Amino acid sequence: MNQSFEFHFRVILAHMKRILILCFIIATSTLTLMGQTRIFKGNSSYSSDVMFNLHNDKVYKGNSRYSSDVLCTISDGKIYKGNSTYSSDVIYTIKDGKIYKSNSSYSSDVIWTVIDSKIYKGNSTYSSDVIANFKNGKVYKGNSGYSSDVMYGYDGNITVSEFIALWHCFLYVY
């Protein structure tokens, strides 16, 4: 009777260890995905169609998290080349919905304006100057909301700075 109890106790312990390991794996993978936004080709949501991923204020190629695959870094209203935060590597400065080239804040250096989830050419806010709009996890051409006009999709909430970093990667890297 004692040996039977000991055997069952060991079997139960072995199962509990497996359950704890499984719980640990699930918790770890969930924490890894938290804070990550994936950017997909067109209307896709397949992991094989991930163009970029956004994690900890950095945009990476595909599903990578390697520092060598950082396309740009977001910090204090600026978008930097690669993994850099040097002032000489500033691609854009973002201030009050205006996106300036490099470190500039001159109105003549405004490349885009972002207002109400729309990106406009230069300093304009005319509806005819809308380049793209983003809503419900999709970025559409111009003022469109048609599924055929989806340029790319994303699976998280994004800020204006993150949108500009992703927009840059979509335009110049992809």
CA-wise closest residue to 156 among 40, 61, 49, 72: 40
- The CATH class that applies to domain 37-172 reads mainly beta
137 near 153, Cβ under 8 Å? Answer: yes
List Cβ<8 Å contacts ≥24 apart for 40-44. 40/152, 40/153, 40/154, 40/155, 41/152, 42/150, 42/151, 42/152, 42/153, 43/138, 43/147, 43/150, 43/153, 44/153
Instruction: Give residue 31's pLDDT.
Output: 36
Q: What is the pLDDT of residue 23?
A: 45
pLDDT above 70: residue 9: no
Mean of the pLDDT values across residues 67-76? 96
**Per-residue confidence at 27, pLDDT binned at 50, 70, 90?**
very low
- Per-residue CA distances from 132 to 39, 40, 43, 129 (Å): 16, 16, 15, 9
The domain segmentation of the chain, as residue ranges, is 1-34, 37-172
C-alpha 24, offset from chain centre: 26
- Position 73 pLDDT exceeds 60: yes
> Given a cut of 50, is residue 28 above it in pLDDT?
no
pLDDT at 21 over 70: no
- Give residue 24's pLDDT: 46
Q: What is the mean pLDDT of the chain?
A: 86
When pLDDT is averaged across residues 63-72 and rounded to a whole number, the result is 95
At 134-173, the pLDDT tens digits run 989 999 999 999 999 999 999 988 899 999 999 999 998 8
Question: Closest by alpha carbon to 137, among 59, 26, 39?
Answer: 39
> Looking at the chain, how many residues does it have?
174
User: Token pair for residue 132?
Assistant: 């793209």
End-to-end CA distance of the chain: 69
Residue for token digits 């890894």?
32
Whole-angstrom distance, CA of residue 89 vs CA of residue 164: 16
